[in-house]
Structure 1
């Protein structure tokens, strides 16, 4: 894997190193030693999958209020517009965001450090996303950030949002940094 720094401190875009032959290719999409070589302490405790049947489905932007959950996100089917925003008040990239297109075709994945909100918009129907996560899901710690919150005013969503849950649509305005720790 090749780790490329992004605009968010501690976040990486990962390019898989494909070993190609007549059958297709083989690539490693996670290796604890390669993460440790980058100074990233990431232990997988859960592997999750998300499937969205319609183009224009928005999921997120979600985070855990305890600042412990990191993720490795990969689109294994379809195409997504991925958004990560740094919500760590002491970070040099606080309230900055990073945008990526992840797809079954480009084989890229992202490492989202703890303390960042993550969400995505499906650009194709029948999109699947796999997540490796470093902390167990805790419903009582679940928080969210609305896609149209003023701190995301410069994010240009590439297609209209067609489907969004009431919960994701009704998160309150972000109140930094108090909201993060409530």
Structure 2
């Protein structure tokens, strides 16, 4: 497994495994504490794992946490997703920059999303399973959502949206969300 810096977002990384494939299928290490540690992250900081399953065209996001934020490792364990990170850390040299990725079960890439960055994805297949490993217990009172179609962000979502949560549909603009968060 190797770690690669994401140039658009300071502190973000892509962890690329080296799958072993044969006639049975494949085997792939999806987390390696030594590799995580090699880029200055604490592998023991990740305390909660979750998974979501989405149908083709489903959009989830853009989400972030208020307060101390939430760092996460994100991987598409089945199917394919179009994944987005937006840097919303005012003191970051990449503030308001965006980065786009395709995560899939074929590549098994894992994306590290630093605390203070918004994250979202759209399922490109049905189903698409996305696994999350986060560094704090989830507290719904700290959830912040930003409109997926905010013109300031101009995210090129690849498919028409087939479904999203009410919270995502009613999300405020980036400017409104940042004003509410005092950023």
TM-score by length of 2: 0.91
Q: 1:101 to 1:60 in 2, by over 3 A?
A: same
Contact 2:30/2:108 (8 A) holds in 1: no
Q: Distance in 2 between matches of 1:35 and 1:74?
A: 15
Aligned residues: 180
RMSD: 1.7
1:31 aligns with 2:28: no
1:48 aligns with 2:50: yes
What is the Cα deviation at residue 31 of structure 1? 2.1
Contact 2:3/2:35 (8 A) holds in 1: no
> SS at the partner of 2:137?
coil
1:61 paired residue number: 62
2:168 paired residue number: 168
What is the Cα deviation at residue 20 of structure 1? 4.2
Could you list the runs of 5+ residues in structure 2 that have no partner in the other structure? none
Contact 1:66/1:181 (8 A) holds in 2: no
Alpha-carbon displacement from aligned partner over 1:115-153 (angstroms, at most 9, x marks no partner): 111110001111111111111101110001111113312
> SS at the partner of 1:10?
coil
Contact 1:80/1:120 (8 A) holds in 2: yes
What is the Cα deviation at residue 34 of structure 1? 1.6
